[in-house]
Amino acid sequence: MKKALLTGLTSVMLAGALSAPVLARTVEGVDVPETYQVMDQNLTLNGAGTRSKWFMDLYVGGLYVPQAQKNGEAIINADEPQAITLHIISGLITSDRMSEATLEGFEASTHGNLAPVQSDIDQFMAVFKEEIKEGDVFDLVYVPGEGVRVLKNGKLKDTVGDLAFKKALFGIWLSDKPAQEDLKEEMLGKN
């Protein structure tokens, strides 16, 4: 009797587990949640991938949007809640290296025209002055009318800029000159 009850209970638990919704996508050992909440809106994971350089994996990036979108320019230009998460997976990322790479990304995404958003970039870069270590998570959350909320490990560090800054920032990963082409494709859900 106990065995039959235990077998039945195990079957029910297994069926429940198999029918439960997938809550995260695993990329390079990082669980990237399928949704992200901004204010009262649930954003959906559009795609996620790994930023690599010189054959080393540096971070896992995830892109969250209100509705799935495969057009990078449309996402960059949209004045709607969106988020990019960066999960640091390498101890080789330092504050200096992250700052240098991010500035290169801004340069590329703005085609060298940093002047309109330079003060916002300067403000944003201050977040990377703190030590960065493996396991850190940065959330870059655009809220229309407010700017880009910059969180480190779930703690709000600053709110920066406006739509123009968001375009330059999201352009680092999604513009015609992205930090890494295959990461862009993965964030756009094309891979």
**Is residue 43 in some structural domain?**
yes
**Is residue 14 in some structural domain?**
no
pLDDT one-digit tens code per residue, 64-89: 999 999 999 999 999 999 999 999 99
pLDDT computed for residue 21 by the predictor: 42
CB contact burial 57-82 (16+ within 10 A = b; e otherwise): bbbbbbbbbeeebeebeebbebeebb
- The CA–CA distances, whole Å, from 7 to 11, 14, 66 equal 6, 10, 42
pLDDT computed for residue 40 by the predictor: 86
**Structural domain span for residue 147:** 22-187
**Is residue 123 in some structural domain?**
yes
**Is residue 109 in some structural domain?**
yes
pLDDT, mean of residues 82-104: 93
Q: Which residues contact 180 (CB under 8 A, 6 or more apart)?
A: 51, 52, 53, 173
**Is residue 6 in some structural domain?**
no
pLDDT, mean of residues 131-155: 96
**Is residue 15 in some structural domain?**
no
pTM: 0.85
- Can you tell me which residue has the tokens 């480190």? 152
CA distance 102 to 169: 9
30 falls in which pLDDT band (50, 70, 90)? confident
Q: What is the domain-level CATH number for residue 181?
A: 3.50.70.10
**Is residue 136 in some structural domain?**
yes
pLDDT one-digit tens code per residue, 108-121: 999 999 999 999 99
- Can you tell me which residue has the tokens 């910059």? 150
Other CB atoms within a 10 A radius of the CB of residue 35 amount to 12
Number of domains in the chain: 1
- What's the number of CA atoms in the CB half-sphere (13 Å) around residue 177? 10
Cα 151 to its chain centre, rounded Å, is: 11
**Is residue 1 in some structural domain?**
no
pLDDT computed for residue 20 by the predictor: 39
Q: What is the DSSP letter of 115?
A: G
